[in-house]
Chain A
Amino acid sequence: MRAAPYLLCVPALVLFAGVVIVPLSMTVLLSFHDWGQYKGIEPVFILKNWHEVLSDSYFHEMFARTFRVAFFVTLLAALFGAPEAYILNRMRSPWRGIFLLVILGPLLISVVARTLGWALLFGGNSGLVNKALMGMGLISAPLPFMFTEVGVVVALTHVLMPYMVLAVWASLQRLDPQVENAAVALGAGPFTVLRRIVLPQVMPGILSGAVIVFALAASAFATPAIIGGRRLKVASTLAYDEFLNTLNWPLGAAVAVLLLLALIAVIWGANRLVERRYAQVFA
């Protein structure tokens, strides 16, 4: 019977070996192949693509933009999502469930449909967002949102916000309300309770939400492609272009593998940080 668990895992193992590990290895290999306009892909081992991706300032700028967008999306999601999760957690029974559904539901609605909504809201000078901002007297002339980083950041923050709320919500569920009550009984004001009691305990939730949001924002495709258009390239839209328009697959593979490596480094580093700093919370 020692073999039983392995036998049960065989179908999944076969699938992952054949359809995940092999294709990923092939992609890494592909990034070392040569490519020419007329000769196509040549299965040789060269560092040309990697050299180009790592030394060309065009790629530097594009990767800088990708991670800048991801950083601001993560920051905005944490800044606005965490308080909302807290408010949600303090709601009464029917409302809590209803609004949780309203806020987490968009996660399951097509990304294309949600991004289309932002394209309609931003749309040119007559876009609803500009009309509202001008109506409130916040701006005097319409701001460009379409084809700008600001527009991509706003739309991506909306798309990924549920992940942050979900992560903070999950950590709030582990919170003992008695600790809050004890702080109040000992004379702490609501702000002190929030800062000294609640925030330190939900910080791991915020950080794990931030890791998820950052990873998804840096590799998001549909939203930057629609809002950013063809002019504002990020790593994913650039890789798409190399694969389906320029047909320089090896270069596109190098961009994608580099993005994957950068994300693995960020996730691994963040997890190390969380585990070291908040070991006592998990213990």
Chain B
Amino acid sequence: MSRNGPIALTYHVLFVSFMLAPILVVCFVAFTPEGYLSFPTDRWSLRWFYAIAQYPEFISAFWRSLWLGAISSAIAVGISVPAALAIARYRFPGREAMTALFMSPLMIPHLVLGIAFLRFFTQIGLGGTFTGLVLSHIVVVIPFALRLTLASAVGLDRSIEHAAVSLGASESVVLRRITLPLVLPGLVSGWALAFINSFDEVTMTVFIAAPGTETLPVRMFLYIQDNIDPLVTSVSACVIAITVAALLVLDRAFGLERLLIGRSAGHGR
């Protein structure tokens, strides 16, 4: 493998600066001691981080986002596991179509989903409720949960299960003691990726969240629409810090590349 020349490395440095600049700027401005947007030069201050405590709507939106992500990802994984086992193990008519259907929320613009859910939930009386948010978030995170559970279901060595059966284990014991523990890593990474995607979702949620059920990204978006001040930069800096921490843990545990590309992408071809 040949090495990169000086031109390539210069390009790389510029590219990485471009990718990081807006993220770092938010974090810098959050430490300003002034009452307006400015870059802290000689003095740094945490005043805008303390100020978050005086805005309960950000705090409650944060907890709501956390619960929403945790619950909807857990249900999405729960639905994905049987579907992944079916897709990985059986060849049945409609298999391709079903896989495409379950992956379709990746292709449908979240804007269209948001509008569809707004209309649907208003009609059935779930408009602006937390239940509605959970249902809609299950739909948008299912592809992530399914992709990773499917990858681990495909990679499963069936001979271990056959061995258990030949040793007299019943079907439910095989499922509980052999199959589920073996797909567990895929399950956990699927849940984590689903959680992050739910936690960041804004385009669809902005349509269905009402005052009182706003998630953190929606609250931030609506705040920025009115005005941009150091408070929203400190909230964003906290969100960035939490995401980066989660990212590092995920990368250590599963490898980010595997998580994002997914090994099962080309399976069946």
A binding-site residues for B, Cβ under 8 Å: 2, 4-6, 8-9, 11-13, 15-16, 19-20, 22-24, 26-27, 30, 80, 83-84, 87-88, 90-92, 97, 99-121, 123, 128, 155, 158, 161, 166, 169-170, 177, 215-216, 218-222, 225-226, 236, 239-240, 243-244, 249, 252-253, 256-257, 259-260, 263, 267, 282
Contact = CB atoms under 8 A, between A and B. Distances in A.
A109 B244 contact: yes
A169 B261 CA distance: 10
Nearest to B21: A121
15 contacts: A4-B86, A23-B116, A23-B117, A24-B116, A84-B11, A105-B247, A107-B260, A109-B200, A112-B202, A114-B22, A116-B22, A116-B220, A117-B24, A220-B203, A221-B203
Nearest to B23: A117
A8 B265 CA distance: 21
State the 10 A-B residue pairs at the shortest beta-carbon distance, nearest first.
A117-B22, A219-B109, A23-B120, A8-B86, A23-B116, A5-B90, A5-B86, A113-B236, A8-B82, A221-B203
Nearest to A184: B2
A9 B80 CA distance: 8
B123 A101 contact: no
Contact of A123 (B37, B117, B139): B37
Contacts of A26: 116, 119-120, 123
Contacts of B85: 8
A112 B225 CA distance: 11
B19 A102 contact: yes
A128 to B, nearest CB: 7
A92 to B, nearest CB: 8
- The B interface is mostly helix, strand or loop, or mixed, namely helix
Given A11-B82, A23-B119, A117-B25, 20 more contacts: A8-B83, A9-B87, A19-B135, A23-B113, A26-B123, A27-B116, A90-B2, A101-B251, A104-B256, A106-B19, A108-B247, A109-B200, A110-B217, A112-B202, A112-B220, A215-B109, A225-B225, A256-B115, A260-B108, A260-B112
B68 interface: no
Interface of B: 1-4, 8-9, 11-12, 15-16, 18-26, 29, 37, 78-80, 82-83, 85-87, 89-90, 92, 95, 98, 101-102, 104-105, 107-113, 115-120, 123, 135-136, 138-139, 142, 196-197, 199-200, 202-203, 206-207, 217, 220-221, 224-225, 228, 232-233, 236, 239-240, 243-244, 246-247, 251, 256-257, 260-261, 265, 269
Nearest to A13: B98
